[in-house]
Amino acid sequence: MKFVQLIDCKTERFDDMDRLMDQWVEQTKGKRTATHSLVGKDRADGSHFVEIIEFPSYEEAMKNSHLPETDRIFQEMVALCEEIPTFTDLDVVRDEQLNQTTSRRFFHEIAAGGNLDAINEVFAPDYADHDMLKEEDTVVGSDGIRGDVSRWRGAFDFTFSLDRQICEGDDVATLWTWTGTHKGEFMGIAPTGKQCTMTGATIFRFKDDKIQEGWWHYDVIGLMRQLGAMGK
């Protein structure tokens, strides 16, 4: 079971604390079992900080705590604090990756499912799109993604298989496999009725819970070959 530890402290010397945490990361490289760390500052009290550290399990957290480097850094950390830091140990019973869920909504509900009304819920009004098939560097606006989805849906009946998703900060990267049946004109190619597959990767950058920017890379050359537009 995933495990999270909250470290609550008060200090007027956060810059020194920040350098201390960098030292801990460097000194425990290859031995540290933490998978994610986040530090927040209390908006109502600039000396109040909370660090949230995520581990694969409680047992892995204990391995981390028993590292000699961890104990040494903790003693130096206490010296920087106005009072002894407090620790809260939490077993994670629910973990929602909200940006990941929103990303999945695009592939399954909007693109494959055809719910274009959901575009304004998922994409920012000034969404910027970077697509290898477009001559322009970016297409700005949720209307741009609506037009793209409509054109692809007009040319193919398709589904997405999401092979892997990686979330980091405001970014969600998705490796996907697309399977479609060619039913309408596509890039000047008349409908062939052929079933095609294509692999690709999409990175969505989020802001305020909506997709702000997207980068698309996919095997369009392989798709054109399957449609008979290019030699093997």
Residues paired with 10 in a beta bridge:
48
CATH number at 98-226: 3.10.450.50
Amino acid 136: pLDDT: 67
Q: Which DSSP string corresponds to 205-222?
A: EEETTEEEEEEEEE-HHH
Q: Could you check whether 3-91 and 98-226 share the same CATH topology?
A: no
Share of residues in the chain with pLDDT > 70 (%): 97
Amino acid 205: pLDDT: 95
The pLDDT of 173-191, averaged and rounded, is 96
The set of residues, in sequence order, having a beta carbon less than 8 Å from that of 29 and lying 6+ positions away, is none
Amino acid 232: pLDDT: 55
> How far is it between the farthest Cα atoms of the chain?
73
Look at residue 95 and tell me whether its pLDDT is greater than 70.
yes
**Multiple choice CATH, 3-91, 3.40.1260.10, 3.10.520.10, 3.20.20.70, 3.30.70.100:** 3.30.70.100
Please tell me the pTM assigned to this model: 0.69
Confirm if 167 and 155 have CB atoms less than 8 A apart. no
Residue 177 pLDDT grade (very low, low, confident, very high; cuts 50, 70, 90): very high
Q: Where are the domains of the chain?
A: 3-91, 98-226
Amino acid 137: pLDDT: 64
User: Count of CB atoms within 10 A of residue 211's CB?
Assistant: 24
> Which of 35-49, 68-82, 99-113, 158-172 bottoms out in mean pLDDT, i.e. has the lowest?
68-82
* 42-47-53-58 Cα dihedral, nearest 10 degrees: -110
Amino acid 231: pLDDT: 57
Look at residue 13 and tell me whether its pLDDT is greater than 80.
yes
The pLDDT of 151-170, averaged and rounded, is 94
**pLDDT 10s digits, 190-219:** 999 999 999 999 999 999 889 999 999 999
**Residue 129 burial by CB count (10 A; 0-12/13-18/19+): exposed, middle or buried?**
buried
The pLDDT of 29-52, averaged and rounded, is 90
